[in-house]
Amino acid sequence: MWIATAERMLGADRRAMDEFGVPAKVLMERAGMAVFATVQKMLPEGGRLTVMCGKGNNGADGLVFARLAKEDGRYQVDCLLAATEDQLGDLCGEQLRISRAQGVQPIFYDDARWTKRSEHMSCRDLIIDALLGVGGKGEVHGPVQEAISAINRSGVPVVSIDVPSGIHTDTGEELGESVWALRTITFSQPKPYLFQGVGLEHAGFWTVEDIGVPKVILQEATEARLLSRDTVAHLVPERLRGAHKGDSGSVLIIAGSRNMRGAAVLAARAALRSGAGLVTVASIAPVLDAVAAQLPEALVLELPEEDGAIAESAVDLLVGTKAHAAVIGPGLSGKAKPFLAKLFPRWEKPCVLDADALNVLGDGLRPPDNECVMTPHPGEMSRLLRLSVAEIQADRFAIVRQATERYGKAILLKGPYSVVGEPGQPLLVNHTGNPGMATGGMGDVLSGVIGTLLAQELPAYWAAGVGMHWHGAAADLCAASIGETGYTAGEVADALPKARSKLLSECESRCSSRCS
């Protein structure tokens, strides 16, 4: 599913009207119906609703909803407009006339009752936020700001229409003050604010609803797409019946130091669990002792040690390896910089760069010239681009594009809704995973998965995309079985085979149902 910016979405609506003859009233009617269908599921026995409308098209959607709720008979509806009647846009004014004819009694901002009703919403069962839509840009002020403040003070659950009011559609930043929604119902396509900035939290649980924009418009490529399960399932390398271990990829894990031994174990464990035919851990003796104790299936290559880290002289033992791909960086420590500075110019195989292999790039080294996936978390990305973490998180889409331009590699920015970019390709946005992944070792597991996919000849861009989806899906299985808090990175690695099987079987079932 393609992700649409505000400009793109507004353009799609215009094209639906101008090129395909879909009336604006039809789009609004279907938007209001989609919101009402959700509210019916939330409050099937009825309830007390406040619909807070703005003066534009989002307010018009809210008026459609208010009319439908009023007609239903189970709901007691207050409809407040954060504007005077003469300020309403044409479409909003038209929906006002229709809703009035159906018994809705709107209260405008210049009505003395508006302040009283807005300040006493705490007794309502649900608030519908229809103040600002995807076109909102400037800082909120005046009646709209007052309405947002009143909504947030009420403590009542909120359903936002298209975007939580006060959130910038394209960046997710807060425009002064914004609505905290329990649910957001957005239309036609997901928007960037759902995946980054304040919008990520303020949108709550979100869904995308069809309101009648022709599919031929929505299928046109944009600058970012939500990575689907079916796409991932079709890209996961197949294990043929006659395969042997040499057909399934050989992964070299260059990781670990005297004080960080577990990173190498986790990366190797994930590579094995994601289907690599052979996994070799290249590191210093104390790390290999930990690997041998926990992963008898892994091969080991002992490297010389200097001050608790891999020595510079180890490069000669690694160059020319028969491995198909490498994972470089987990747990190496900053003391490995001389080793990495010598390794990178000579490394010729596909590789994943993580952790300390990324930190040295921030110090001015260049990544290897071959196919490569860089997997920074926000802190590592801040060092790579010399920006603050706040700047990184403010617009993650733009940051990934900036990083791909600077380094010319596939970049995976980790975090909620991880993002993959590569020069000349649309961004890939992940939707698997959960907050329980915010614990040590998760990045090591991810790097092992991507290393396997590279060894199995997936291009870097798709190895990163498939890897992040698969990794998150395994974490979701852990959360479903033991809860979101307390599962470990090792348990996620062990869940990888089941996650793969589930992904493929669900895709096969969907394909079968479509063909039947």
Q: pLDDT of 443-475, one tens digit each?
A: 999 999 999 999 999 999 999 999 999 999 999
Q: What are the residue ranges of helices labelled H in 298-426? A: 315-318, 337-343, 356-362, 378-385, 389-394, 396-407
Q: Is the pLDDT of residue 510 over 90?
A: no
Q: pLDDT of 354-389, one tens digit each?
A: 999 999 997 888 999 999 999 999 999 999 999 999
- 2-221, superfamily in CATH? YjeF N-terminal domain (3.40.50.10260)
- Interhelix angle 489-515/460-482, rounded to 10 degrees, is 100
The widest CA-to-CA distance across the chain, in whole angstroms, is 83
Instruction: Please check whether residue 461 is in contact with residue 422, taking contact to mean a CB–CB distance below 8 angstroms.
Output: yes
CA distances from 61 to 135, 212, 256, 332, 494 (A): 14, 14, 56, 55, 47
Rounded to the nearest integer, the mean pLDDT of the chain is: 96
Q: pLDDT of 323-338, one tens digit each?
A: 999 999 999 999 999 9
* Beta strand extents in 390-469 (DSSP E only): 410-413, 419-421, 427-429
Instruction: Please check whether residue 308 is in contact with residue 258, taking contact to mean a CB–CB distance below 8 angstroms.
Output: yes
- How many CB atoms neighbour CB 487 within 10 A? 20
Instruction: Please check whether residue 50 is in contact with residue 121, taking contact to mean a CB–CB distance below 8 angstroms.
Output: yes
Q: pLDDT of 241-250, one tens digit each?
A: 777 777 789 9
Q: What is the torsional sign of CA 389, 390, 391, 396?
A: positive
Q: pLDDT grade, residue 207 (50/70/90)? A: very high
CA distance 455 to 60: 53
> Strands 351-353 and 325-328: what pairing?
parallel
Domain 229-235+246-510 class in CATH: alpha beta
- How many CB atoms neighbour CB 231 within 10 A? 17
Q: pLDDT of 380-435, one tens digit each?
A: 999 999 999 999 999 999 999 999 999 999 999 999 999 999 999 999 999 999 99
CA distance 91 to 23: 11
Instruction: Please check whether residue 127 is in contact with residue 42, taking contact to mean a CB–CB distance below 8 angstroms.
Output: no
Closest CA to 169 of 141, 192, 200: 192
Domain locations in the chain as residue ranges: 2-221, 229-235+246-510
> Strands 250-254 and 2-3: what pairing?
unpaired
Main-chain phi, psi angles of 77, to 5 degrees: -115, 120
Instruction: Give 166's DSSP letter.
Output: T
> Strands 410-413 and 419-421: what pairing?
antiparallel
What pLDDT does residue 512 have? 60
What pLDDT does residue 313 have? 96
Structure tokens, 132: 């600002």
What pLDDT does residue 62 have? 98
CA distances from 451 to 53, 154, 334 (A): 51, 50, 22
Residue 43 DSSP SS3: coil
Q: Is the pLDDT of residue 513 over 70?
A: no
- How many CB atoms neighbour CB 227 within 10 A? 24
Instruction: Give 238's DSSP letter.
Output: P
Burial 123-151 (b: 16+ CB within 10 A, else e): ebbbbbbbbbbbebeeebeebbbbbbbbb
Structure tokens, 20: 């395909």
Same fold, 2-221 and 229-235+246-510: no
What pLDDT does residue 232 have? 97
Mean pLDDT confidence for 33-51: 98
Structure tokens, 187: 């239309």
Q: Is the pLDDT of residue 187 over 90?
A: yes
What pLDDT does residue 457 have? 96
Closest CA to 6 of 80, 57, 65: 57
CA distances from 336 to 141, 251, 469, 495, 510 (A): 53, 20, 30, 31, 48
What pLDDT does residue 364 have? 80
Q: pLDDT of 113-156, one tens digit each?
A: 999 999 999 999 999 999 999 998 899 999 999 999 999 999 99
CA distance 124 to 162: 22
Burial class (CB in 10 A: 0-12, 13-18, 19+), 10: middle
CA distances from 205 to 64, 194, 199, 377, 472 (A): 22, 10, 11, 24, 18
Q: What are the residue ranges of helices labelled H in 215-314? A: 215-218, 229-235, 262-273, 285-294
SS3 content of the chain, % helix, strand, coil (to 5): 50, 15, 35
Cα 50 to chain centroid distance, Å, stands at 31
Q: pLDDT of 96-122, one tens digit each?
A: 999 999 999 999 999 999 999 999 999
Residue 73 DSSP SS3: coil
CA distances from 434 to 478, 487, 489 (A): 10, 11, 13
Instruction: Please check whether residue 350 is in contact with residue 460, taking contact to mean a CB–CB distance below 8 angstroms.
Output: yes
Helices and strands: H and E segment counts in the chain:
20, 20
Q: pLDDT of 277-318, one tens digit each?
A: 999 999 999 999 999 999 999 999 999 999 999 999 999 999
Q: Is the pLDDT of residue 515 over 70?
A: no
